Amino acid sequence: MALAVGIAFGAASRSAPAQTPTPLDIARARSLFHDAMRLRDQGERDAEIRTLEAARAATPTPIIDLELGRAYAAAGRLISARRVLVSVADLAPQPAETPRSAAARAEAARLAADLQRRIPTVTVRLVGSPNDAIQGVQVDDAPVAAERLAGALPLDPGVHAISVQSSSGGSSSVTLELKEGEHRDVDVAIEPAPTAPARPNQAAPPAAAGAKSAAAAPISATVAPRSGGRSSMRTIGLVVGGIGLAALGAGAYFGVRTLSDKSTIDQACHGGTCTSQAAIDAADDALTASVVSDVALAAGAVVLGVGAYLVLASSGAPRVAGLRVRPSVGLSGASPRASLTGEWTW
């Protein structure tokens, strides 16, 4: 048996139109062929196909091509199987060819004819715009040559995804399952190509000369807690309250500093006249500290009130509240005065 196979390999390889294989190529092909047959017996279909493909690449023979075609067909790859089986006819027979090689040729021709009937086909047709034509087709993400679309397109049995692009730029896709020997007419409705988004309108021209501008808002501070989750309102309230306490502390500090400077002024100044430069500096410092103390105490009290409101409001239904604050600093007679006015909005 081994001798017959070896002769068959050698005779067929010499008849191939390709470059004449070397004895090493023939020996390698023979070894791979026997390995593939063992893999077939073990049910290792994919490994069997890979091994037969390697054997055919080393030395194509009628026997190798026949068994590779059978393996392809068993795996559902009918198109690949028929292509390999048909190629056996390209291996011209030689006088020294063995009966087994001659039998392989006849069996390959028979199987190729049988596969011709088993291979399913589809015909792709466009429906929709009469001016559209098929521009390109992909089957399972692989492009299909345009000349193959003139008639029925052969495909292996199984599920296939067919996508079509028309000459107008539209596209569509369809998924179908084919069975052996089946023919399907696939009508593809082309979706129009996406249009370019409209360009945004040009900016409005500037206002004509002499047009009245909007009145400027008065300088003020506005605190307006937004409606939201109670947890967020409570957190904001605690932060605002902390700022208010800090402002009260700063006001108290400058108040104490004013009182301290006042004792120095009382000792060195009489009747509005100060007898030393230290007393004059102390008077200036006291004036500044007094203003800062008044503003800080007033602002701290208001901000602390806002923080307290937010904390209390977080325990009930959320509401929207606002506060508009207007600080002012000036003189009342010879003494500095600061004031802070405000209003709540609901």
pLDDT in tens, 149-163: 667 889 999 999 888
**Residue where one domain finishes, among candidates 56, 85, 118:** 118
Note whether 229 and 335 are same-domain residues.
yes
What is the arithmetic mean of pLDDT over 197-207?
54
- pLDDT value for 217: 42
> Average per-residue pLDDT in the chain?
74
- pLDDT value for 307: 74
Note whether 177 and 267 are same-domain residues.
no
Note whether 29 and 98 are same-domain residues.
yes
Which CATH number characterizes residue 64's domain? 1.25.40.10
- pLDDT value for 13: 41
Phi, psi of 325 (to 5 degrees): -115, 135
Say if residue 273's pLDDT is above 60: yes
- pLDDT value for 268: 67
**227 compared with 72, residue with greater pLDDT:** 72
Q: Pick the range with the lowest mean pLDDT from 16-30, 213-227, 288-302.
A: 213-227
| Count: domains in the chain | 3
Note whether 8 and 108 are same-domain residues.
yes
**292 compared with 217, residue with greater pLDDT:** 292
DSSP letter for each residue of 80-99:
HHHHHHHHGGGS---TT--H
Note whether 330 and 250 are same-domain residues.
yes
Note whether 84 and 50 are same-domain residues.
yes
Say if residue 269's pLDDT is above 60: yes
What is the arithmetic mean of pLDDT over 278-283?
71
Note whether 183 and 274 are same-domain residues.
no
Which CATH number characterizes residue 144's domain? 2.60.40
Answer whether residue 208 is part of any domain.
no
What is the arithmetic mean of pLDDT over 22-31?
91
**326 compared with 235, residue with greater pLDDT:** 235
192 confidence band (pLDDT: 50, 70, 90): low
Domain span holding position 91? 2-118
**Residue where one domain finishes, among candidates 92, 118, 144:** 118
Note whether 111 and 149 are same-domain residues.
no
Per the CB < 8 A criterion, the answer to whether 165 and 188 are in contact is no
Note whether 114 and 125 are same-domain residues.
no
- pLDDT value for 45: 95
pLDDT in tens, 294-313: 777 777 777 777 777 777 77
Answer whether residue 127 is part of any domain.
yes
In terms of Cα–Cα distance, which of 33, 61, 27, 63 is closest to 48?
A: 33
**84 compared with 18, residue with greater pLDDT:** 84
- pLDDT value for 162: 84
Answer whether residue 195 is part of any domain.
no
pTM of the model: 0.49
Answer whether residue 164 is part of any domain.
yes
Answer whether residue 318 is part of any domain.
yes
User: d(Cα 191, Cα 279) in Å, to the nearest integer?
Assistant: 92
186 confidence band (pLDDT: 50, 70, 90): confident
Answer whether residue 205 is part of any domain.
no
Answer whether residue 209 is part of any domain.
no
**243 compared with 165, residue with greater pLDDT:** 243
**139 compared with 214, residue with greater pLDDT:** 139
In terms of Cα–Cα distance, which of 80, 90, 33, 94 is closest to 58?
A: 33
Phi, psi of 153 (to 5 degrees): -100, 115
pLDDT in tens, 97-146: 889 999 999 999 999 999 999 999 988 876 765 556 777 778 888 888 76
Note whether 337 and 258 are same-domain residues.
yes
325 confidence band (pLDDT: 50, 70, 90): low
Answer whether residue 174 is part of any domain.
yes
Note whether 86 and 127 are same-domain residues.
no
**Residue where one domain finishes, among candidates 130, 165, 189:** 189
Note whether 285 and 178 are same-domain residues.
no
User: d(Cα 32, Cα 49) in Å, to the nearest integer?
Assistant: 11
